[in-house]
Amino acid sequence: MIKVHCGMDEAELKVKQSLLRPVLLPSTIGSSSVFVSSLYGLEPKKRKGVSGVVEKDFNIGARELDGKIERMFYTSGLSFHFVRNPHYINAFKSDCSNPIPGYLPQGYDSLRTTLLQKDKANIERLLDPVKDSWMAKGVSVCSDGWPMFLKAVNCEEEVKDKNFIANLLIDSIREIGPQNLVQVLYLALKTLNESGHEQVYNAVQKPLLLAQTAAVLEILHGLVGLVRSPITSTLPQISSRLYVTWGILWSFPQIQTHILVSSLVISWSVTEIIRYSFFGMKEAFGFTPSWFLWLRYSTFLLLYPTGITSEVGLIYFALPYIKESDKYCIRMPNKWNFSFDYFYAAILVLGFYVPGSPHLYGYMLHQRKKALSKSKRE
C-alpha cells in the first residue's frame, strides 16, 4: 500500500513538472534581479524607496516602454525594418508629447475596413493631379517596380500565370489610356493630321528628348553585361540618335519644321514600341507569339531605311545653319591652342553613316534570319 502511494506521488510530481512554465525575460530597467514574464503578464517588482526624482534621472518610464515595444516585435514576428517606418515613429512621438486620455488602439475590423477605405479614397484624391498630367508628361507601366503607386491587386487566391499577368497589364493600360503610353507616336500623328508637319517637333519635343536620352542606359547595360546586345551595334545607333536629337534638332530650331522630322519621329517611335514591347513580353511571360516575333525582326526592313534617311537628311539640311551660327565652335587664338569647327564635325558625322549604316543593317538581317529560323524549329 505504501508503494502505491509513493508511486502516485511520484506520478503527480512528474505531471506538475511537465506543465508549461512562464519564461522570464529580463526587465529593461537595468536591474539583473528583476524579471518580467512576457507570456503571462507578470509585472516587474518595484524596488522600495525609489523616489520620483530617481525615476526621472534614470528614465525608468522610457525603459519600461522600450521593453513593451521590443516584446511586441519578438512575440508577433515583426520585421525589425518596421522601426524605420515614419508612421510608426510619428505615432509614438505624438503619443508621448500629446497623450490622449482613454485612447484605445484601433481594432482588427476597423483597420481592415473603415480606415482602409478612408486611406484609399485619400490616395486616389492625391493621385488625380498626377493622372491629369499624363497627357502632357507621359507615363510608363511597370509590372514590378515602384515608380508610382497606382493601385494594388489582391493576388492571394490567384494563379500567377501568363494570362493573369497579361490581363492585369491590359486593365492598367486601359485605365491609363493607350495614348499616354505611346505618347511620342500619338502626338506626332495627331499633330501631323491637325496642324501639319511644321508643328510636329514642338508637340513631341519633351518626351522625345527624354526617351532618346534615357537610351544611354542601353549602352551601359551592354558594357556591364546585363543584356546580350553587342556594344558594336548599340553604340553607333544610340550615338547617332543622340547627336540628331540634341546636336541638330534641339540646337538649331530652323530645322525643326522640316518634313523629315515627322518621318524621323514616326520611324523611331514605331521601331521602339515594337522592340520594347517584344522584350517586355518575353521577360514577363517567357515567350512571345510568332506574329510578334516576325514583327520585331521584320519592320526594320522598312523603318531602318526611312529612319537613316531622315537622320542623314536633317544633318545635311542643317549644315547651312550650323555654318552661319558658328555654334559650338572654338576659334584660335586661345589658351589651349586648340580649334574646333562644328560645321566640319557634322560633315564628319555624315561620313560615319557610310560604313556604319550597312554594318548595322547587315547585323539586323543576320539576327532576323537567326531568330526566325529558330522559331520554325521550335
- Domain span at residue 216 reads 182-377
State whether 205 and 72 are in the same domain. no
Report yes or no on 148 lying in a domain. Answer: no
Neighbours of 142 (CB within 10 A): 12
Cell of 199: 508643328
For residue 186, the model assigns a pLDDT of 77
Question: Amino acid letter at 139?
Answer: V
State whether 220 and 359 are in the same domain. yes
State whether 93 and 187 are in the same domain. no
Neighbours of 363 (CB within 10 A): 15
Q: Mean pLDDT, 10 residues at a time, over the chain (378 residues)?
A: 60 62 48 42 49 54 78 81 82 77 77 82 83 68 46 70 70 64 76 90 91 87 78 86 95 95 94 85 78 91 94 96 93 90 95 89 90 79
> 76, 100, 124 — which closes off a domain?
100
Number of domains in the chain: 2
> 71, 100, 129 — which closes off a domain?
100
> 59, 83, 100 — which closes off a domain?
100
Report yes or no on 112 lying in a domain. Answer: no
State whether 217 and 74 are in the same domain. no
State whether 227 and 318 are in the same domain. yes
How far is the CA of 106 from the CAs of 103, 174, 342, 376, in angstroms?
9, 37, 69, 61
CB 243 within 8 A of CB 345: no
pTM of the model: 0.56
Report yes or no on 170 lying in a domain. Answer: no
Report yes or no on 245 lying in a domain. Answer: yes
For residue 6, the model assigns a pLDDT of 60
For residue 5, the model assigns a pLDDT of 56
Residues marked as catalytic: 304, 311
Report yes or no on 144 lying in a domain. Answer: no
For residue 148, the model assigns a pLDDT of 46
How far is the CA of 300 from the CAs of 283, 307, 330, 360, in angstroms?
22, 9, 39, 11
What are residue 188's phi and psi, to 5 degrees? -65, -50
Report yes or no on 358 lying in a domain. Answer: yes
For residue 328, the model assigns a pLDDT of 93
